[in-house]
Structure 1
Amino acid sequence: MAASLLSLFRPNLTSRKMTVKPLAVLNKSRKTRIPYELKRGQNRLFHQLPSGLNMEVIEQKGIGGNSNTNPDNGSIENPPLVFIHGSYHAAWCWAEHWLPFFSNCGYDCYALSLLGQGESDGPAGSFAGSLETHAGDIADFIQKKLKLPPVLLGHSFGGLIIQYFIANIRNKQLIEMKKLCPYPDLAGAVLVCCVPPSGNSGLVWRYLFSKPIAALKVTRSLAAKAFQTDLSLCKETFFTSTMEDHLVMRYQELMRESSRMPLFDLRKLNASLPVPSVPKSSMEVLVVGASDDFIVDAEGLDETGRFYGVSPICVEGVAHDMMLDCSWEKGAKVILSWLNALSR
């Protein structure tokens, strides 16, 4: 959203001389100067994609087995959970709180760093990818590494990638035409504070007309990347006001180090939206928002809920980075309750 806002106030800078870049070279050295230190029970793996590039995966297996007891069907194996981050984040944002929480509840957890983010390799070019390429990388990981259909959980722009994934699970024409990895079936999807299916343009214009000061703050924070150096602005953008400064500083540093490339070319992204519609009964989808979200407003949350024919849940007292905020347990418990009902 912020990059779209910024484009309203600056000239088009895309008409530059193009240079041919070599394919990215696999490099086992750290991509980030300040790598995220894993917690007990977590492993950092690298999944090699068909392109030859490596994608970072932080894994944490379920504790005490990964099954629930159903009175009618006996023991049912829990679906694995695959977490997809948004802009300026990477797999570490899930590893901090939600991977330990859900693994402790018996779910195998996998947090992916999309290309150009975290410790993943970066592709050639100026942008990390598109909805299509990111969704294809996720599909490749699921196809090759998981035995059961997973639940995909996506935050912010990561949620938009999942929406594209859902829309194309059975799109054989797209798969054949683009020679993509077939999108595997899912057990369900959770969209957390996510960009709505129409993209961020609606959010942009609503902010410009109804909250012009907030619009300028978001533009400065995200598009101009001022959140990387301005502590108070970083807190206002991603966290609630009660978040302790030392935690905001830690996450600010990790966000700065995580995003070596823009996740998308936003002009091309917006031109490809909205995501295709899907039958309302095709998949179980949970839409979760935050009452103190500075980026995705209530109307954006409602749009996503209407698209999937579900009533969104707005979690009180948390901000856009629900999985990192000081009340992170609130959102995690809402999702856990939904997951337990899904297994019954």
Structure 2
Amino acid sequence: MAVAHGCILASIPTTRITKMPHAILNKEYKMKAPYKLNQGQSRIFHELPSGLNMEVIYQKGLRHEKRDKLWNPPPLVFVHGSFHAAWCWAEHWLPFFSQNGFDSYALSLLGQGESDAPEGSVAGTLQTHAADIADFIKKQTKLSPVLIGHSFGGLIVQYYIANEYSDLAGAVLVCSVPPTGNSGLVWRYLFSKPVAAFKVTMSLAAKAFQTSLPLCKETFFSKKMDDNLVLRYQELMTESSRMPLFDLRKLNASLPVASTGNPSTRVLVMGAADDFIVDAKGLEETASFYGVKPECVEGVAHDMMLDSSWEKGAQLILSWIKGLDGKDFA
């Protein structure tokens, strides 16, 4: 196999992926419905110390002569949550941030997407997932990156911050599970929204979102989301997670992630007004933990990076990153 950026390239050239018969793809890819990359994207594999390979979808930032003389954008590293993989960032946000000059890397955690699966019944722990991300950042990024995590991926990012694996230019928590885990969310739903609690349990714990299009849409997307798109993402989500991201019982016993947030890392806490999973109190809890004001994006649901108004969240992150050093360049 060839090597690129210190990573192993997929055995099939990226440019040929969309042209090959589905039967052949099944022999080469772990997902029965592999994600077809957008123009300018590469699928590479980072070899971890364990010898397992982690899928990375990479898109190089487009350089702007005037802007780049004044500012060297930090690389962006994206971490997905449960039932997702690197593809969820590659659909809209990687092209968006590439256009704005950012080298962008979307990771598939072990046991998810096209990444290798570890031994055992679950993909890992907060510690092992954070260590895998740290290994990638140490070996593959030249500048301190902005680490961006969604849902349970946001909890992994919080653990990363608390344990100071490496310097970050900043961290973004997108519809993140709070530092204390999801137990508070579950209990609030049980007492205040029992019907919603039942739907969330059926959708996620029983994985009913995989077979019910209406439930998948209600769980992850806005009402105005096109059903054909939801169906496509439903298939990708179903194929993405070959094993649970965590053992949730052990996970909750190890929380909160830290007694206090790490003051050396700038953090953006953002949520979605129409989030069916993480409620407003959950968003406020996370923001309070880091001593920041929560940003709630209107008109989007839990999967704001895939939702019909995905650009709202992307624009908010872009503005925040540009403000990290007090600069704002077009």
TM-score (normalised: structure 2):
0.89
- Residue of 136, 152, 164 corresponding to 2:131: 136
Consecutive unaligned residues in structure 2, runs of 5 or more: 1-26
- Mapped partners of 2:265, 2:115: distance in 1: 30
What's 2:237 paired with? 255
The answer on 1:204 being equivalent to 2:186 is yes
Pairwise mapping of residues 48-87 of structure 1 onto structure 2 (< 5 A)?
48-65=47-64, 68=67, 75-87=70-82
**What SS does structure 1 have at the residue aligned with 2:128?**
helix
- Residue of 268, 289, 305 corresponding to 2:250: 268
- Mapped partners of 2:71, 2:297: distance in 1: 29
What's 1:327 paired with? 309
**What SS does structure 2 have at the residue aligned with 1:35?**
coil
1:30 counterpart letter in structure 2: Y
CA contact (8 A) 2:59 2:94 kept: yes
CA displacement at 1:29 relative to structure 2 = 2.7
2:55 counterpart letter in structure 1: E
Higher relative contact order (CA 8 A, sep 6+): 1
CA displacement at 1:79 relative to structure 2 = 0.5
1:238-280 CA-to-partner distances (Å, cap 9, x unmatched) read 0000000000000000000000000000000000000113456
- Mapped partners of 1:44, 1:30: distance in 2: 12
**What SS does structure 1 have at the residue aligned with 2:71?**
strand
CA displacement at 1:155 relative to structure 2 = 0.2
RMSD across aligned positions (CA): 1.5
CA contact (8 A) 2:161 2:262 kept: no
The answer on 1:40 being equivalent to 2:39 is yes
Distance 1:87 1:328, change over 3 A: same
- Residue of 174, 195, 198 corresponding to 1:213: 195
- Mapped partners of 2:266, 2:64: distance in 1: 24
CA contact (8 A) 1:90 1:112 kept: yes
2:112 counterpart letter in structure 1: Q
**What SS does structure 2 have at the residue aligned with 1:77?**
coil
Distance 1:67 1:141, change over 3 A: farther
1:94-138 CA-to-partner distances (Å, cap 9, x unmatched) read 000000000100000000000000000000000000000000000
2:137 counterpart letter in structure 1: I
The answer on 1:104 being equivalent to 2:104 is no
1:340 counterpart letter in structure 2: K
CA displacement at 1:167 relative to structure 2 = 0.2
CA contact (8 A) 2:162 2:262 kept: no
- Mapped partners of 1:163, 1:302: distance in 2: 15
Instruction: List, as ranges, runs of 4+ consecutive aligned residues in structure 1 with deviation greater than 6 Å.
Output: none
Distance 1:66 1:34, change over 3 A: farther
- Residue of 282, 285, 310 corresponding to 1:300: 282
What's 1:190 paired with? 172
CA contact (8 A) 2:162 2:261 kept: no
- Mapped partners of 2:215, 2:250: distance in 1: 28
CA displacement at 1:66 relative to structure 2 = 9.0
Distance 1:222 1:66, change over 3 A: farther
- Mapped partners of 1:279, 1:165: distance in 2: 11
What's 1:123 paired with? 118
Distance 1:138 1:209, change over 3 A: same
- Mapped partners of 1:68, 1:186: distance in 2: 22
What's 2:318 paired with? 336
2:29 counterpart letter in structure 1: R
Consecutive unaligned residues in structure 1, runs of 5 or more: 1-27, 170-182
Distance 1:279 1:307, change over 3 A: closer
- Residue of 193, 209, 213 corresponding to 1:227: 209
- Mapped partners of 1:85, 1:67: distance in 2: 33
What's 1:145 paired with? 140
